[in-house]
Amino acid sequence: MSTLDSIDIQIVRLLGQDARQDSETLAKQLNISSATVRRRLRKLFRDEFLHIVGVVDPTKFGFPVAVVIALDVAH
């Protein structure tokens, strides 16, 4: 498994703030080329550092409260 360098971490942090940013927007913020961003994103997905997940708004289905719990469990 590969490790993340500082640029990878910055990409992940920026996507955490707004996951809809395209590679051009990320590139401008990081002062690198959009091709570099795209290459790094492919690697982050391939190495399973990033995943695409759809989140449903439970209130739209009549549920009054939504709770999201994230756990990291060691085996």
CATH architecture of 6-61: Orthogonal Bundle (1.10)
Q: Please check the confidence at residue 1 and state whether its pLDDT lies above 70.
A: no
Please name the residues in contact with 29: beta carbons below 8 A apart, sequence gap of 6 or more. Answer: 14
Domain boundaries, the chain: 6-61
Q: CA-CA distances (angstroms) from residue 48 to 6, 27, 45, 58?
A: 17, 21, 5, 27
- 7 vs 56, higher pLDDT: 7
Q: What is the pLDDT of residues 21-60, one digit of tens each?
A: 999 999 999 999 999 999 999 999 999 999 998 888 888 8
Give this prediction's pTM: 0.75
